[in-house]
Amino acid sequence: MRKIITMLLTILPMLAYAQQSETIQLNEGWQFSQMNSDQWYDADVPGSVQRDLVRHGVLPDPFYGTNEEQLQWVEDVNWDFKKTFNVSAAQLQHDEALLQFEGLDTHAEVFLNGSRILRTQNMFIGYEVRVKELLIEGENNLYIRFHSPIEAMMPARNSFGYDYPAVNDHREEKLSIYSRKAPYHFGWDWGIRIVQMGIWKPVSLLLYNDARIEDYYVKQQLVTEEKAEIEHQLTIHALTKGDATLSYGYALNGKVLKSEQKEMYLAAGVNNLSFPATITDPQRWMPVNWGEQHLYDFFVTVTRGDHLIAEKHLRTGLRTVRLVQEPDEHGRSFYFEVNGIPLFAKGANYIPGEIFTTQQDEAYYENIFDQITDANMNFVRVWGGGIYENEEFYRQADERGILIWQDFIFACAPYPSDDLFLTNVREEAIYNIKRLRNHPSLAFWCGNNEIDEALTYWGWDKQYPKEVMQAWQEGYDKTFRQLLPLLVEEHDGTRSYIHGSPYDANWGNTEKFASSDVHDWGLWYGHLPFEAMAERLPRFASEFGFQSFPEMKTIRSFAPEEQWALESEVMQVHQKATTGNSLIKKYMEMYFPEPKSFEDFVYMGLVMQGNGMEESVEAMRRGRPYCMGALYWQINDDWPVVSWSSIDYYGNWKAQHYRMRNVLAPLALGVDEKEGMLHYYTLSDYLSDRNDLTLTVQVIDFTKGIQKEFREKVSATANASTIVKSYKLSDLLNEDEKAHTMLHAFLTDSNGEVISRKEHFFYWPNRLKLPLTTIESSVEYADGEYRVTLFSEKLAKDLFLEIPVQGARFSDNFINLLPGQQRTIVIRSPQLKAADRTAVTVKHMRETY
Ligand code: NHV
């Protein structure tokens, strides 16, 4: 960024910052204590009281055993933070001083040198306070009291007389909905409860002269291949009135393409400026697999005479994204169009990946986006029970071509809608719309998660009086149908908005599936089999999912061996969904033989989740253009727990994540077995046809190997799902062979390179005759990398390699090792050392029952 500005400066007349503006970081040297206690501890900022108390050993590791309970008292107590900092006489010479708190969690009173300068009640807003008159030369004192959210909100509850139906809030008194604070801190059906307090984003002191550019928005009015019409929107805060020169322009790949100047008059106070610009032949930002993610650097500077007084830079991509909801022959469409082209949204729902939110550092974001990209996703939903994510999240998405569905942070419960509450929400919405609107990855805004669905379908009308229900309904309309869309229009003005997700449908009432996005919990909560998902495709699946236990390596991290049982005390603390275990068991009885042990149960559950979810996702992808999105619930965990995630807390891929990588590949092979036929599909996201492909289908007996092989030249139609070849099942095998035969199909290009594979079984394992077999394996050990070579004479289904290193990455896992086949799997982790010869263990389905 500096580079761009410097570059710009070289082409402007000689300028200098007469008195440089200066930012003093105030994140170091904080201390905190329980209110009225003399015991002060060092605080990490950004951080939280609970995170620091764990760090200091005052609280135990919350993830281990049943320790969660031992952290709970902290939420009932007030906590004080203090810090001193020095300001020099020269620094005091600046015209203005702003204390900047990017995020305080949540109910805070801030004091500076004896004056109360700020009261906050919203963790999602960054606050700035003018403190020029309060600063003194030498040592300054900052003091913050964080009020217990419980204490702060209890009176609201007491005066209401009811508890809200906020079932994911794991305390008897439901207070989460009163506080503009991350809902998931209060617990969830996959979430530990740690209701944190603290300084969760950076603090700084900005000293400046003359003027400041508070905000800069490059609003994209129209973007085509030929031109981009944009509007520069600037908010400049000037301390003194007078003439000034505005320079603005843009660069691409470090090359300044345009730089212009404008004379203007700045009034003292806030100046809102806006002026149009046209960029011809723009290099457009494309989603992953559609082209490059071109990012332009836009810059503005304000000068007076030969003094540079303010500057701002932002990076954005030029593109259009539109949610298309139009009547059609089925009902109403629900799909995203990017740069005018319909896009099938492939991806997942994302929750904050750390209960200690502030542990989400840059490495965290890079890592989670590696997993997103590696699984071939192009869309991620930031779900409304978490947080508006940090800048780095959206920056990663911009660079990788991942589109973001952004919920406003409301989920699964009614919320108050009184004037004070809505004033707070208004400020939060404006702040976050402005903060995020320059990101090309941000595709659209959604009012909340499931509140509309809940008001209609979750039976609250039987628990609450009519007047209460009516007030909640009116409050819903006020917040999500009136206030938020107005603010999106006013402060964004380019993106679509829906009042909530699902938009209209409910999974128990399929008649609206043809005209809405759907959270299809028919699978799981509705006890429907995986196969049923193909028969009830929605226009867009914004949630659907299936639970599994994390692998044993992760269970071992929190449970001693004597607790390895489904209903043990420790395992129950780590299973937050009330019907979770019984549903896993029920489905397992539908599909699998009885596992021999707890460890086999865990393994089998992972396989069930992976294979079942692959089936559902593939059906959705085959179902385009009717169905245009598959965002499964959920990609990640915020602590080690049983959940619907496809990656566990320690970064271990569950079977599902490998299956997603296959089924979401930009060009994947799909198969649909239907009425005695077998239809092979190409599922393509590419924007051009592929005509150089060969489809090979092998009929493989579990013991005897390949029985038949078919080969066809096929084409993959661009951006479509197409049947490329159909077989009569009876031409491939007899009915009684189905229990010991599978199909192995693969697509190759003209060089014989395999592009996609599809393995098809006719039954789930309880109806398969899987052979007993011995796996021969050998390992080549190197630092950082083990190569495991595997061979089996007979089929080894869903073969799972395990290594006791958290987060180790496997080139593949849960594989079907075909009869007579040799496969090499590479395991990578910086913790792997050649000399250690860490044990790699192997398990496959037939061994587990
Ligand atoms: O339960 C899993 C996930 C939740 O973690 C998350 O809130 O938005 N889930 C399930 C549902 N929605 C979501 C569906 N909700 C219901 C199911 C059954 C009855 C009522 C509601 C996510």
* Nearest CA-CA partner of 301 in 310, 292, 293: 310
Task: Measure the CA–CA gap between 689 and 233, rounded to whole angstroms.
Answer: 41
**Rounded distance, CA 201 to CA 128, Å?**
13
Nearest CA to ligand 1 atom 2: 189
Say what the pLDDT of residue 587 is.
Answer: 98
**Neighbour count for residue 530 (Cβ, 10 Å):** 22
CA distance 211 to 303: 10
Alpha helices in 48-161 (DSSP H): 49-55, 89-92, 149-160
8 A C-beta contact, residue 496 and residue 445: yes
Beta bridge partners of 146: 79, 108
Quick check: 685 and 583 in contact, CB under 8 A?
no
**351: Cβ contacts below 8 Å, ≥ 6 apart:** 184, 188, 190, 191, 383, 385, 386, 634, 636, 637, 638
The atom of ligand 1 lying closest to the CA of 384 is 8
* Residue 510: exposure state from Cβ atoms within 10 A (0-12, 13-18, ≥19): middle
Angle between helices 598-622 and 655-663 (to 10 degrees): 20
Taking CA atoms only, the protein residue closest to ligand 1 atom 4 is 189
What is the C-alpha separation between 601 and 580, in angstroms, rounded? 14
| CA neighbor of 182 nearest in space, from 360, 373, 367 | 360
Distance from C-alpha of 54 to C-alpha of 49, rounded to nearest angstrom: 9
Tokens linked to 57: 């050993």
Residue keyed to tokens 């506080």? 179
Close Cβ partners of 197 (under 8 Å, ≥ 6 residues apart): 48, 49, 50, 74, 75, 79, 105, 106, 107, 146, 147, 148, 149
Q: What is the pLDDT of residue 11?
A: 47
For ligand 1, the distance from its centroid to the CA atom of residue 527, given in whole angstroms, is 14
Q: Which tens digits make up the pLDDT trace of 330-362?
A: 999 999 999 999 999 999 999 999 999 999 999
Helix 362-374 to helix 391-400 angle, to the nearest 10 degrees?
30
Please state, as a whole number, how many other Cβ atoms lie within 10 Å of the Cβ of residue 137.
Answer: 12
Cβ neighbours of residue 537 closer than 8 Å, sequence gap 6 or more: 513, 619, 620, 623, 626, 627
Catalogue the E-assigned strands of 12-125. 22-25, 31-34, 41-42, 79-87, 96-101, 104-105, 107-112, 115-121
Q: How far does the centroid of ligand 1 lie from the alpha carbon of residue 530, in Å?
A: 17
Q: What is the DSSP letter of 122?
A: B
Q: Which atom of ligand 1 is nearest to the CA of 633?
A: 3
Give, in degrees to the nearest 5, the angle at Cα 48 between 46 and 50: 150
Name residues whose C-beta falls within 8 Å of residue 73's C-beta, 6 or more positions apart in sequence: none
Q: CB–CB of 74/50 below 8 Å?
A: yes
Closest of 335, 321, 323, 288 to residue 623, by C-alpha = 335
* Pocket-testing residue among 525, 579, 635, 639, ligand 1, by greatest number of atoms within 8 A of Cβ: 525
Instruction: Write phi, then psi, for 38 (nearest 5 degrees).
Output: -90, -5
Tell which one of 192, 450, 639 to mutate to probe ligand 1, the residue whose CB is within 8 A of the most ligand atoms: 450
Peptide bond preceding 149 in cis form (omega within 30 of 0): no
Q: In what order do the strands lie in the sheet with 809-810?
A: 776-782, 785-792, 821-828, 809-810
Q: 525 C-alpha vs ligand 1 centroid, how far in Å?
A: 8
**CB within 8 A of 513, min separation 6: which ones?**
505, 520, 536, 537, 538, 539
Distance CA 725, CA 732 (A): 13
Q: Which amino acid is at 532?
A: A
pLDDT at site 306? 87
Chain centre to alpha carbon of residue 710 = 41
> Between β-strands 776-782 and 22-25, what pairing exists: parallel, antiparallel or unpaired?
unpaired
Neighbours of 798 (CB within 10 A): 24
DSSP structure class, residue 395? H
Q: Which of 475, 478, 551 is nearest to 798 (CA)?
A: 551
Pocket probe mutation, ligand 1, options 633, 644, 646, max atoms within 8 Å of Cβ: 633
* Residues across the chain: 849
Question: What residue ranges line ligand 1, CB within 6 angstroms?
Answer: 188-190, 385, 411-412, 449-450, 458, 519, 521, 525, 543, 633, 644
Give the distance (Å) from ligand 1 centre to CA of residue 635. 15
Using DSSP bridges, classify how beta strands 629-632 and 345-350 pair: parallel, antiparallel or unpaired.
parallel
Phi, psi of 585 (to 5 degrees): -65, -45
Look up residue 761 and give its amino acid: F
C-alpha of residue 449 to centroid of ligand 1, in Å = 9
Q: How far apart are CA 712 and CA 551, in angstroms?
A: 40
For residue range 208-252, list pLDDT tens digits in order.
Answer: 999 999 999 999 999 999 999 999 999 999 999 999 999 999 999
Instruction: Give the span between the Cα atoms of 77 and 75, in whole angstroms.
Output: 6
Beta-sheet strands, E only, within 132-241: 138-146, 198-199, 203-208, 211-223, 227-238
The structure tokens 């209960």 sit at 355
Under DSSP, is residue 741 helix (H, G, I), strand (E, B) or coil? strand
All residue ranges of the chain with pLDDT < 70 are: 1-19
Q: How far is the C-alpha of 454 from the C-alpha of 317, rounded, in Å?
A: 37
Q: 635 and 647 in contact (C-beta within 8 Å)? A: yes
| Among 168, 463, 521, residue to substitute to test ligand 1 (most atoms within 8 Å of Cβ) | 521
CA 631 to ligand 1 center in whole angstroms = 14
Gap from CA of 580 to ligand 1 centroid (Å): 12
pLDDT of 6? 54
Q: How would DSSP label each residue in 637-705?
A: -SSS--BS-SB-TTSPBPHHHHHHHHHTSSEEEEEEEETTEEEEEEEE--SS-EEEEEEEEEEEETTTE
Side chain identity, residue 700: I
The 3-state secondary structure of 260-311 reads: EEEEEEECCEEEEEEEEEEEECCCEECCCCCCCECCEEEEEEEEECCEEEEE
Dist. CA 602–CA 563, nearest whole Å: 14
Q: What CA–CA distance (Å, rounded) separates 256 from 299?
A: 10
CA of 339 relative to ligand 1 center, distance in Å? 33
User: Amino acid identity of 144?
Assistant: I
Say if residue 502 is preceded by a cis peptide, omega within 30 of 0. Answer: yes
Query: Other CB atoms closer than 10 Å to residue 782's CB: what's the count?
Result: 12
Contact 246, 221 (CB under 8 A): no
DSSP state of 83: E
- For ligand 1, atom 7, which residue shows the shortest CA distance? 412
Q: Which residues on adjacent β-strands are paired with residue 205?
A: 24, 99
Q: Atom of ligand 1 at shortest distance to CA of 168?
A: 7
Protein residue with its CA nearest to atom 10 in ligand 1:
521
d(CA 743, CA 679): 12
What is the CB-side half-sphere exposure of residue 420 using CA atoms within 13 A? 6
